[in-house]
Structure formats: C-alpha cells, structure tokens
C-alpha cells in the first residue's frame, strides 16, 4: 500500500458496531463484554438500531465493522437488522467493506452463507493460537481444528477477505509452539493476520493473578515472537501495514485504515467510541446502562473530546504512526524531529524522516515515539500574523 493510498482513507465514512455478547469472558479481555446475557441480545440490537436511526445522517458508508464481544455469537438476523438500520440512516456504498469478528466455535458453512447474503464480505476469526495448551491457557473454548474448519467455511461461502487474530507471548507458549502456530496459520493462507502480544490488563483475571505474583509475559520473549511472526507472514506474502496487522496487498482492513488515517467513523453500541464532526466520543460502557438510556429516549453518550488545532495534529500522528507508511510531514512531525527527544529517537533508529513522511522504523518501540509526540507543545507562531 502506498502512503498516498493509505492517507486517502482519511476521507472515508466508516462505522463501528459493538456486539458485547460472548459465550464466556476470556481471562485477558478488558473490553466491554458480557457472558450469559444472551437473552438481552434482541433488546440490545433494538437499542442499537434506535441509536443508529437517531444519528445525524451521513453519506453512504465505505466501511462497517462489527466488533465485540463476539458478533458471531448472536443470531445472524440480528446482525442483519443492524445493517438495515445503517443502510436506512446513512446508506452503504456499493463497494463497502462489511466486516465482522467471529469465533471459530460459533462458525459454520450455514452461518457463513447467511452472513454473505446479508452483505458481510470480511470475517476476522479469533484464532489466537494453534496450540492446545496455549488455547487452554488463554481460556479459549475452541480447538485448532475449529479454526481450520471456520476458515474453510468462510472460503466456501465466498468470503474473499478472511483474517485471523493471533496472540503471542502467553506463559503457556514456547518458541516451538509459537513456531508451529505460525506454520499452521501460514497453511491456511489467510488474507490478513492481526497478531498481538498478550497484554495483562489491570482488572482482568490475568491482571489479578499477575498482581498476586503469577509470571507476567516477558517483553523480550514477546519481541522474539513478534519478529518470528513478521518473518513467517512475509514468507506467505503478507505485508505488515500496522504495528500488529499484516495483509496481502489490497486486503488491508479498510475500516481500521480509516481510523488510522484520522478519518471519521460512527460508533454504536455500549462502550463504542467514535470520531465524527471533530469530536472523539464514547458511549456508556455498561450494557444495562446503555439499553436503559436508549429505551428511555436518552443519549448513550458518556463523554466526548473536541479534537482541534494542535491536538488534532498530535492526534493525526498518534493514530497514523502505527502504520508502516507513517504520516505525512506536518507541524507535528517537524516539531518532533527538531526536539531533543526526536533527535534521540532518530539517532536510535526508532523514527526516520523520508520522502516527506515520518516513519516508525522499529514498530515495537512505537509507544516510546507516542509518548514523545503527545508531550509536544505547539511551535511558537510568533508575531508574523499567522496566529
């Protein structure tokens, strides 16, 4: 993907829909999810449709992403109702990417076919690993064969964009088991892979056990695993286009590219975050609070931040620098490069300025760059009247 192509997503209109339902909550997960609340799915989807219907109508959407939770966990027709609402309020462009997250244990050829009929054209499986011990350690409820079957079902139903998520660096994993997972992932020939270091978040069961003295993931080991993954994916023609995302050219996730290009996106559902009309906004995270507010005719918004001026420039760098294409030069990149920290990052080979862009050359150190970026202060405009 060329930098120009990547930056063009800034003009996309995208939408995120949150489906919080899961069969069980994974011990590392800190998203807005619920288990054992499937009876609320219908009410919840109605609330989401109400939220969509009351949104400020936009132009036809170029990308829609159903995330979770586990969107594949609820009835397909409920997903269809949401898509109908989106069409009714904003419209869907003819070439829109319509993506959903799915779990291998929820998937079948029937479901895949039904999703295709509804208009979904991209599916992302929470595969996480192809090693039984690692899957058990992560609290997952599928076996490696489920992943193979699910990907096969998606292909058979005509999905041209099939992605798998992998998690590396858990304590049950070894260099060998990771290598085997990568081999099996390669064999599936996915169009796209999202590959994440296991992150121990406070407040999760993993967070609590680490706090109580359990072994935490070793960042050096995770760095090794990341590098192994990058090699493996390159071997099958997947190119890294963001810190944790690899794709066959042309199969990058357009919804995410929109976010990273600082494009605007609607967001619906509990805990959903969006960015529209220059504001980053968020909905109430609790499922019941979200439903109650909508059913009471109120707003599900929990807060919003206006992103403007210098903050918007830093925000552009923040979201954009995770991409391999980096960001185009601007006041933010100039300020960073001329700062002491920018010079150190350059000297350490972490960032590089080239062809009118700023790139993070060592993606595993992106947060170090981000800390420096977010601390930048606006250059003094002076008295030349530009202020």
> What distance in Å separates the CA atoms of residue 108 and residue 292, rounded to the nearest whole number?
34
Quick one: 68 or 104, whose CB is closer to another protein?
68
Q: Max alpha carbon distance in the chain (Å)?
A: 67
Residue closest to 143 by CA, chosen among 162, 129, 153, 124: 129
CB of 117 to another protein, least distance (A): 27
Helices 109-118 and 76-89 sit at what angle, rounded to 10 degrees?
10
- Asked whether position 216 contacts another protein by CB under 8 A, the answer is no
The residue count for binding another protein (CB under 8 A) is: 49
Q: Draw the binding track, 71-100, toward another protein (x: CB under 8 A; -: no contact).
A: ------------------------------
> Binding residue for another protein (CB under 8 A) from 126, 207, 326, 363?
363
- Asked whether position 163 contacts another protein by CB under 8 A, the answer is no
CB of 315 to another protein, least distance (A): 8
> What distance in Å separates the CA atoms of residue 154 and residue 123, rounded to the nearest whole number?
8
> What would you report as the CA-atom Rg of the chain, rounded to the nearest whole angstrom?
21
> What distance in Å separates the CA atoms of residue 283 and residue 271, rounded to the nearest whole number?
5
Q: Cβ contacts of residue 17 below 8 Å, gap of 6+?
A: 48, 64, 65, 66, 67, 71, 82, 86, 267, 268, 269, 272
Burial class (CB in 10 A: 0-12, 13-18, 19+), 60: middle
- Asked whether position 282 contacts another protein by CB under 8 A, the answer is yes
Q: Which of 91-99, 137-145, 175-183, 193-201 is the region at the interface with another protein (rule: CB under 8 A)?
A: 193-201
- Asked whether position 126 contacts another protein by CB under 8 A, the answer is no
- Asked whether position 318 contacts another protein by CB under 8 A, the answer is yes
Quick one: 212 or 347, whose CB is closer to another protein?
347
Look at the alpha carbons of 187, 193, 199, 205 in this order and tell me if their dihedral is positive or negative. Answer: negative
- Asked whether position 273 contacts another protein by CB under 8 A, the answer is yes
Q: 16 near 265, Cβ under 8 Å?
A: yes
> What distance in Å separates the CA atoms of residue 278 and residue 290, rounded to the nearest whole number?
23
Q: 251 near 192, Cβ under 8 Å?
A: yes
Quick one: 14 or 157, whose CB is closer to another protein?
14
- Asked whether position 280 contacts another protein by CB under 8 A, the answer is yes
- Asked whether position 184 contacts another protein by CB under 8 A, the answer is no
Q: Among residue numbers 15 through 74, which ones bind another protein (CB under 8 A)?
A: 16, 18, 31, 65, 67
- Asked whether position 348 contacts another protein by CB under 8 A, the answer is yes
Q: Which of 51-59, 177-185, 363-371, 377-385 is the region at the interface with another protein (rule: CB under 8 A)?
A: 363-371
Quick one: 153 or 206, whose CB is closer to another protein?
206
Mapped onto helix, strand or coil, the DSSP state of residue 359 is strand
- Asked whether position 223 contacts another protein by CB under 8 A, the answer is yes
Q: What angle do CA 241, 201, 350 make, to 5 degrees?
A: 40
Quick one: 144 or 363, whose CB is closer to another protein?
363
> Binding residue for another protein (CB under 8 A) from 305, 312, 338, 378?
305
Name the site residues for another protein (rule: CB under 8 A): 16, 18, 31, 65, 67, 196-199, 219-220, 222-223, 226, 243-244, 255-256, 259, 265, 267, 271-275, 280, 282, 305, 315, 318-319, 322, 344-345, 347-348, 350, 363-368, 370-372, 374-375
């Amino acid at each position: 993907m060329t930098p120009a192509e990547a930056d063009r997503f800034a003009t996309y209109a995208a939408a995120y829909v949150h489906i919080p339902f899961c069969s069980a909550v994974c011990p590392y997960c800190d998203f807005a999810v619920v288990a054992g609340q499937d009876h609320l799915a219908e009410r919840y989807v109605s609330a989401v449709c109400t939220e969509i219907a009351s949104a400020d109508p936009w132009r036809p959407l170029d990308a829609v992403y159903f995330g979770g939770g586990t969107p594949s966990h609820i009835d397909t027709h409920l997903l269809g109702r949401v898509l109908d609402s989106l069409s009714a309020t904003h419209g869907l462009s003819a070439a829109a990417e319509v993506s959903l997250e799915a779990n291998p244990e929820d998937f079948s050829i029937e479901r895949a076919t039904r999703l295709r009929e509804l208009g979904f054209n991209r599916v992302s499986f929470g595969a996480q690993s192809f090693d039984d011990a690692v899957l058990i350690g992560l609290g997952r409820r599928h076996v490696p064969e489920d992943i193979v079957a699910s990907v096969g079902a998606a292909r058979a139903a005509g999905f041209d964009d099939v992605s798998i998520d992998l998690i590396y660096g858990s304590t049950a994993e070894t260099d060998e088991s990771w290598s085997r997972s990568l081999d099996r992932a390669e064999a599936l020939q996915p169009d796209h892979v999202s590959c994440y270091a296991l992150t121990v978040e406070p407040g999760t069961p993993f967070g609590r056990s680490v706090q109580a003295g359990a072994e935490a993931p070793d960042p050096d080991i995770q760095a090794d695993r990341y590098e192994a993954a990058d090699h493996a994916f390159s071997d099958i023609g997947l190119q890294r286009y963001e810190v944790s995302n690899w794709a066959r050219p042309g199969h990058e996730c357009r919804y995410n590219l929109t976010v990273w290009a600082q494009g605007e996106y609607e967001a619906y559902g509990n805990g959903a975050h969006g960015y529209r009309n220059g504001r980053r906004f968020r909905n109430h995270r609790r499922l019941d609070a979200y439903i109650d507010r909508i059913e009471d005719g109120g707003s599900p918004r929990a807060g919003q931040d206006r992103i403007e001026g210098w903050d918007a420039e830093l925000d552009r760098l923040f979201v954009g620098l995770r991409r391999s294409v980096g960001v185009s030069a601007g006041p933010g990149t100039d300020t960073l490069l001329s700062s002491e920290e920018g010079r150190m990052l350059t000297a350490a080979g972490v960032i590089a300025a080239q062809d009118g862009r700023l790139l993070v050359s060592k993606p595993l150190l992106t947060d170090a760059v981000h800390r420096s970026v977010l601390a930048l202060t606006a250059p003094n405009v002076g008295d030349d009247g530009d202020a």
